Amino acid sequence: MTKEIKVFAPASVSNIACGFDTMGFAVDRPGDELVLRRIEEKSIVIKSITGDDGCLTKEVSKNTAGLPIIELFKDFNLPGGVEIELHKKMPLGSGLGSSAASAVAAAFAMNNLFDLNLTNMELLPYAIKGEELASGAIHADNVAPCLFGGFILIRSYDPIDIIELPVPDNLYCSILHLDVKINTKESRKLLPTEVPLNLAIKHWGNTAGLIAGLYKNDIALIGRAIEDFIIEPIRGNFIPNYYKIKQAAYNAGAVGCNISGSGPSVFALSDNAETAKNISRDMENAAGEINIKTCSFVSKVNKVGPKIIYKN
């Protein structure tokens, strides 16, 4: 019987400009690590959290990693309890699915520690419940890519319909995170509830174009489709120097650039590793003009999702 497991769950880029709440993809780094340890007492305890600067609660029912574990214990009437160690390896409130990574890591670890043999589709609702704590809304554009890996389309939420999309092997993502706090719940309140028809038509065209570009292995088409006429004009105003950062990415060879999630992270796509590194450097330089702390990552699309680091 496995007594302890340590897992990794990746960060994810969501919305992808034209795919608000419906699209996202996983990246290789950063990500979260979680240790789950069996205990005899019938309790669930968060023993420690690192990398959060003391911001996250250890109250299990209010923690994005804790809630999926509570629900799995309840639904499967599991014996004993567990201790949780959560190691945050990415910035909080980054727009990179930090809360989703914690929720997915917890659900994935429980599935493997207790040999539940649940499929990703069966695990998904548990991870979504954890993510909902942070965002205040049910959406899976970070959770699903983190759990399934790859590039994901959420066609429907009721019932949930997940579509795994093909990804060009030479598609690279450069991510710039700025040390600015953006609250996802508050950010969502500012978004429009109605969209003019002319903007909706543009948006539908880009959404279809992005999907077509993935299937056709056409990175130029993918880049042309990375446009957002609805969300970016609002959220872009909360990211310092955003439009200069975006222009720097295009000048360095990006085919597309936009906001990841609710921000403040910015992602840019390109077709080779060298260009991706140059984009990352130039985005950092553009952000440096305003003296804000940044960190950056370059990655291909992570097609694996969460993984086991060790178990014993």
Which residue among 71, 131, 227, 232 is the active-site one? 131
Q: Is 227 a catalytic residue?
A: no
Look up residue 207 and give its amino acid. Answer: T
Bridge partners of residue 298, in order along the sequence = 174
Residue 134 CA to residue 96 CA, distance in Å, equals 13
Please, which residues have CB within 8 angstroms of residue 113's CB and are 6 or more apart in sequence?
2, 4, 5, 36, 38, 82, 311
Which residue among 184, 207, 275, 294 is the active-site one? 184
Tell me which residue has tokens 């994005």. 64
Q: Is 232 a catalytic residue?
A: no
Residue 287 CA to residue 66 CA, distance in Å, equals 35
Q: Give the residue among 294, 287, 286 at the shortest CA–CA distance from 251.
A: 286
Residue 145 CA to residue 306 CA, distance in Å, equals 10
Phi/psi at 172 (nearest 5 deg)? -115, 150
Residue 23 CA to residue 141 CA, distance in Å, equals 5
Helix, strand, coil tally for the chain in percent (to 5) = 40, 25, 35
Cβ proximity of 187 and 201 under 8 Å: no
Cβ proximity of 10 and 305 under 8 Å: yes
Q: Which residues are annotated as catalytic?
A: 131, 184
